[in-house]
Structure 1
Amino acid sequence: MSSALPLAGASLLQPIGVKALYGLTLHGNHLLAVDPFRGYLLRLDPKTEQVEVLNTSQAEAFYGATGVACWQDQLWFSCDHTVYTTTLSAMQPEPVLTLPYPADGIAVWENTLYVSCKKGGCIFVCDRTSGQRITQFPAPGIGVENLSVWGDYLWACDQTEQTVYCLDRATGELIVKMLTPFDTPTGIAVPPHTTPDSGTVWVAYANEEPYVRDDPNGEEPFVLTFRDRTLIHPLSYRWYKEANYCRTTGYLVEMTYVEEIDTLEDAQPLENVEWRIAFPTSTDRQRVKSVEPVGLPFTEVQQAGDRIACFRFDRIDPNQRHLFGWKALVEVYGIKYQLTP
């Protein structure tokens, strides 16, 4: 199987010099995020992939920050148990509210501030200026969640469940949930006028990846180890209400299946051999685009509703060798069924 390519030319952003991206929010045509390990408040341009550090002199205040939200020129960010606010121009953070548990993610819509709290198991709804609590509703997932909001919908990404949830902003009622293509989503930003039916949202991820480290002066020149990986990826989705599932970002995968016939000693020749190999199946989460033969031609047949490649040999002698099979292009998507207990 070859490496998978994202469909529709979706761009993947991997900022240079950043250890981990947490929290994500839109500010005009740019994305804002925080790096809690370096204390960076970052502005990213999705078109050019340029990254700018906005808090060049106030990095200490952003150490440990995990959530960020923006409304006009005002910024909110969560750090430990406290939510702070500041203007983007002045960069003088002031506390808005303090929770008994760590504040994980935040979002702001008009005069309302939303704060997710894993240990509390809920999302707090507060006044954005005074920090006074208005109400609260249960968190949709079980892990650490980051938030984003637009219009009537509140969006949350869960690091443990690798899932994005769309909620009713007023009641917290779950509308739709969708699977992310990478694990540990740590931030989400929803473009204007996004609806639960279909669209694209920005999702940030922070985790580790294995790689081979080249050390020519060491005893072992090649060492398998791990390194930090953080990225931002546009998550495209479509909710199929009638079928009760939501399908997310697809990838074009090339699959190859090949059989080999080698020589055999003291074997009898075979006459009129028919060798059948099943094609990949088209399902809700994947669609077979094309299948072509490898090595020898085949005839496509149907068996119990499945597509089968049929290779026919008039005679196979013990001293013969053959390679034959198929190569398929398959669109593979993430899928999340909308099941309730």
Structure 2
Amino acid sequence: MPSLPSTIYPIGAYNLHGLVWQTDANNNTNQGKPYAICVDAYQGHLLKIDPFSEGATVMNNYTAAQFRDATGLAIAGDTLWITKDNGIYYCDLVDFDLQPFMELPNRVDGIAVSEGGVYVSSSEVGKIFVFGRATRTLLRIMDAPGAGFEALTLVGEELWVSDRTEETVYRLKAKSGEILQRGLTPFPNPMGLGFLGDDLYVVYSGDENYIRESPNDLDEPFSVAAREKTFIHRLRFDQYQDGKLNYTLTSGYKVEMIYLEELSSEEPTSVYNLTWRVAYPTDTYRQKLLAIEPIGIPFEEEIVDGQKVAAFKLGNLKPEESRMFGWKATLELHGIKYELKDSEVEFVPDLSPEMQKLYLIDDDGLSMDNPIIQAAAKEAVGDETNILRKMLLIRDYVYDKLSYRVTPYIAAPEEVLLRGTGSCGEYVGLLLALARLNGIACRTVGRYKCPHDGDLMLNVPLHQYYNHVWIEFYIPSIGWLPMESNPDDTGDRPYPTRWFMGLPWYHVEIGKGIFFETIQPQPYSIGELALNHVRFKVLEEI
């Protein structure tokens, strides 16, 4: 039998939830052929999906209305289970006539069923409830691992959970709820998960924007509209260890990135003996630089603080002289999530004097001597001493105080704090100031994100208009850990921790603790001399 495609787009599906894999052993011509079962919450269709043709067959032809708005799906033996609103229901696999199992005081989301237990999640209260299948009594309650809608599936003694808000898959001990491993999903809105052998597949359902054509509207023949987007994708989920660092890599892509500068000055002038430096993409656990080559003119490779930089020796530039130069890099990018419990860092060594000199100082207009910022640093952490909990408290404090807004320039942290809004760079400035004042070494990292709205469009040019920055914080004896600047600021607590000690596949790390781009000599700013062009191509899934 040929291998299954990594991505399946079921035809005629609108809003898929849940995922169960089964094997069709009744057809002699296709014996052993696997198929997926999902419920379409919009139509109420229980769909049997052929992963090869992507065709879907409605199984519950006469009871679709009963399944409408279902959010969870499980099959145990000859019994099918769903969750819907506040209720748990079951039926046989012949007539699909739902029978009530139990009604709960809170809305329930996902479901998994073992021989003796029924597991249901509720994002409304942030819990996973376990009921006796025969007795219908509550056996135990576990904390939900994430902050959003959670789908469930059982594999032996393990409970696997996908969280829509966290964009994360968790592997838990089924009896205790202890988190064993977590990995980021490559796409938003995971709504179900299931195993086919050792392969884990995840269902995604959400909306996407597209350009709608309206031929009869002569004034505005094109407009932005939304449509459903649902598919099934195989998720790579691999755990690694390096020293004291444990991390999980999830599905990745080979990506081409071009960074190009075009000389363009509003006030043409002569520049003498100009060297223009642009950092390389960095090799990390989740990112590998496979190749890099110059565009326009050659560059010389230099090392700055242990990192590679492309140096373009432009020499003397005349007024209105035209040049384009840059690099094209081929990268391997994965999602990464680090596993580290706060109990593991209750006692850590002191930060070395060298690290203090580098990463506890005000080296970038952080206003660390400003009384407003110093007071905020104390208020953010209170009496907390654990370095990991302190970092999370600082993040949540900044999220409480700020909301995201693109700004034309980076303002001082006290100004950002007072006005209550900030760009990603302004979030970073405030995070750096509060962390460093609390003795936590941290640094700015970035620089661009591959447009992930086009992550399924292979070999299509994708243009990125904005750059992006985030931070890394350092734990002695452990190492550097990433933390997003603003994307986890969803506006309401509890804030997700998807990108606290984690990064999705589409982030490109360029320069860690060094400037991404510099010119020498520096009588002008880079923006006064040139326009940049940034382009990506997703070449293939790894």
TM-score (norm 1): 0.88
Alignment map for 1:194-205 (pairs within 5 Å): 194=198, 200-205=199-204
Q: Which residue of 1 aligns with 2:229?
A: 229
Q: Which residue of 2 aligns with 1:6?
A: none
Alignment map for 1:221-260 (pairs within 5 Å): 221-242=221-242, 243-260=245-262
Letter in 1 for 2:103: T
Q: Which residue of 1 aligns with 2:127?
A: 122
- 1:241–1:99 distance in 2 versus 1, CA, 3 Å: farther
Deviation digits for residues 285-307 of structure 1, max 9, x if unmatched?
21111111111122222222111
Q: Report the Cα offset of residue 155 of structure 1.
A: 0.6
Task: Classify the secondary structure of the residue corresponding to 2:187.
Answer: coil
Letter in 1 for 2:302: V
Q: Which residue of 1 aligns with 2:437?
A: none
Alignment map for 1:103-142 (pairs within 5 Å): 103-142=108-147
Task: Classify the secondary structure of the residue corresponding to 1:190.
Answer: strand
Q: Which residue of 2 aligns with 1:326?
A: 327
**Cα distance in 2 for residues equivalent to 1:10 and 1:249:** 14
Q: Report the Cα offset of residue 259 of structure 1.
A: 1.6
Task: Classify the secondary structure of the residue corresponding to 1:244.
Answer: strand
Q: Report the Cα offset of residue 262 of structure 1.
A: 5.1
Q: Which residue of 2 aligns with 1:311?
A: 312
Q: Report the Cα offset of residue 315 of structure 1.
A: 4.7
**Cα distance in 1 for residues equivalent to 2:174 and 2:320:** 71
**Cα distance in 1 for residues equivalent to 2:268 and 2:68:** 73
* 130-139 or 212-221, which deviates more: 130-139
Alignment map for 1:148-227 (pairs within 5 Å): 148-192=153-197, 194=198, 200-218=199-217, 219-227=219-227
**Cα distance in 2 for residues equivalent to 1:269 and 1:69:** 68
Which consecutive unaligned segments of at least 5 residues does structure 2 have? 24-33, 343-542
**Cα distance in 2 for residues equivalent to 1:201 and 1:316:** 56
- Contact in 2 for aligned 1:116/1:123 (Cα 8 Å): yes
* 205-214 or 94-103, which deviates more: 94-103
- Contact in 1 for aligned 2:49/2:56 (Cα 8 Å): yes
Alignment map for 1:38-117 (pairs within 5 Å): 38-117=43-122
- 1:87–1:301 distance in 2 versus 1, CA, 3 Å: same
- Contact in 2 for aligned 1:280/1:288 (Cα 8 Å): yes
Q: Report the Cα offset of residue 17 of structure 1.
A: 2.0
- 1:49–1:252 distance in 2 versus 1, CA, 3 Å: same
Letter in 2 for 1:212: I
Q: Which residue of 2 aligns with 1:292?
A: 293
Q: Report the Cα offset of residue 69 of structure 1.
A: 0.4
- Contact in 2 for aligned 1:179/1:334 (Cα 8 Å): yes
- 1:46–1:266 distance in 2 versus 1, CA, 3 Å: closer
Q: Which residue of 2 aligns with 1:11?
A: 6
**Cα distance in 1 for residues equivalent to 2:318 and 2:163:** 59
**Cα distance in 2 for residues equivalent to 1:10 and 1:317:** 55
- Contact in 2 for aligned 1:263/1:321 (Cα 8 Å): no
- 1:99–1:266 distance in 2 versus 1, CA, 3 Å: closer
- Contact in 1 for aligned 2:110/2:122 (Cα 8 Å): yes
Provide the aligned C-alpha RMSD in A.
2.2
Letter in 1 for 2:8: L
**Cα distance in 1 for residues equivalent to 2:266 and 2:272:** 12
Percent of aligned positions with the same letter in both sequences?
39
**Cα distance in 1 for residues equivalent to 2:209 and 2:169:** 25
- Contact in 2 for aligned 1:186/1:206 (Cα 8 Å): yes
Letter in 2 for 1:309: A
Q: Which residue of 1 aligns with 2:339?
A: 338
- 1:333–1:10 distance in 2 versus 1, CA, 3 Å: farther
Task: Classify the secondary structure of the residue corresponding to 2:66.
Answer: helix
Q: Which has the higher strand share?
A: 1
* 45-54 or 153-162, which deviates more: 45-54
**Cα distance in 2 for residues equivalent to 1:83 and 1:144:** 16
- 1:320–1:154 distance in 2 versus 1, CA, 3 Å: same
**Cα distance in 1 for residues equivalent to 2:262 and 2:84:** 59
**Cα distance in 1 for residues equivalent to 2:304 and 2:180:** 40
Q: Report the Cα offset of residue 50 of structure 1.
A: 2.0
**Cα distance in 1 for residues equivalent to 2:112 and 2:141:** 14
Q: Report the Cα offset of residue 261 of structure 1.
A: 3.0
**Cα distance in 2 for residues equivalent to 1:103 and 1:305:** 51
Q: Report the Cα offset of residue 314 of structure 1.
A: 5.5
Q: Which residue of 2 aligns with 1:3?
A: none
Q: Which has the higher helix share?
A: 2
- 1:44–1:319 distance in 2 versus 1, CA, 3 Å: same
**Cα distance in 2 for residues equivalent to 1:57 and 1:63:** 12
Q: Which residue of 2 aligns with 1:30?
A: 35
Deviation digits for residues 166-205 of structure 1, max 9, x if unmatched?
100122111111111122211111334x4xxxxx421112
**Cα distance in 2 for residues equivalent to 1:340 and 1:269:** 53
Deviation digits for residues 122-147 of structure 1, max 9, x if unmatched?
21222334433322222112222110
- Contact in 2 for aligned 1:253/1:332 (Cα 8 Å): yes
Question: How many pairs does the alignment contain?
Answer: 326
**Cα distance in 1 for residues equivalent to 2:92 and 2:104:** 22
Which of structures 1 and 2 has the larger relative contact order (alpha carbons within 8 angstroms, sep 6+)?
1
- 1:314–1:129 distance in 2 versus 1, CA, 3 Å: same
Letter in 2 for 1:221: P
- 1:241–1:265 distance in 2 versus 1, CA, 3 Å: closer
Which consecutive unaligned segments of at least 5 residues does structure 1 have? 1-8, 195-199
Q: Which residue of 2 aligns with 1:4?
A: none
**Cα distance in 2 for residues equivalent to 1:157 and 1:267:** 57
Q: Report the Cα offset of residue 10 of structure 1.
A: 6.3
**Cα distance in 2 for residues equivalent to 1:89 and 1:265:** 77
**Cα distance in 2 for residues equivalent to 1:280 and 1:249:** 19
